[in-house]
Amino acid sequence: MPKSYLDSTSWFYAFVSSSVALFGLAFYIVGRRESGFLRSFVYTWRTKAVFLVGQFFAYSVMSIVYCSAFYVFTRNYFGVMEVAEFLTVLARFYICFLLFSIPSLLLTLIPIGFQNANTLFSILSFLMLALGIVGMNSSHPLFEVIRFLNPMWWANRIILVGVAECLLLVIVVMCFFILSFLTTLRFLRINPVWSRY
């Protein structure tokens, strides 16, 4: 796989995957909570599970669509597209989507409204990207700590070096994703039911 393509686009892929998780998956859940949908239809453990699994699969598909569109629109500039390369980028991108789904799902547990969620997600997204790029070439110990705590930096690393080279990180992401999903399932905020009938 040509290194120049991923070197040039890895931060964009990381940012797009974070945006799908934050402004798609998490933002939609907060919006449904505020609109009364959860209060009216999602009030048992089973309906919570159906709702969350449905949302996760819907935004998984959306993440694949966004990644595919980004690849098609940007790859020609660097040369001919290849199916094997596309599938590799897609796998890396999806792991990044799972990585960003962890904090996204946990952020839905905070008692904030739609407008405040939009502001919070925008600030977090900007900070992750800015700190990741600023700390990219810095060897200062503070930036090393910030890099370690920044999901955007880890996503950039996954895009650049791949799943096989980051296997331990991928396993950690999968485990934390499952934990965050189960935590969200258990503690998903649902306002009291006003009227179901």
Q: What tens digit of pLDDT does each residue of 87-139 get? A: 999 999 999 999 999 999 999 898 888 788 888 888 988 888 888 888 777 77
Token pair, residue 171, equals: 């396993």
Q: Where are the domains of the chain?
A: 3-187
Token pair, residue 75, equals: 């790859």
The band of 191, judged by pLDDT with boundaries at 50, 70 and 90, is: low
What number of residues does the chain have? 197
Other CB atoms within 10 A of residue 71 CB: 19
**Which DSSP state fits 77?**
G
Token pair, residue 113, equals: 């409204």
Nearest-10 crossing angle of helices 27-35, 114-134: 170
How far, in Å, CA of 63 to CA of 17, rounded? 7
- The better pLDDT of the pair 27, 64 is held by 64
Give every CB contact of residue 195 below 8 A, 6+ residues apart in sequence. 40
Q: Are 14 and 159 in contact (CB under 8 A)?
A: yes
Q: Are 191 and 33 in contact (CB under 8 A)?
A: yes
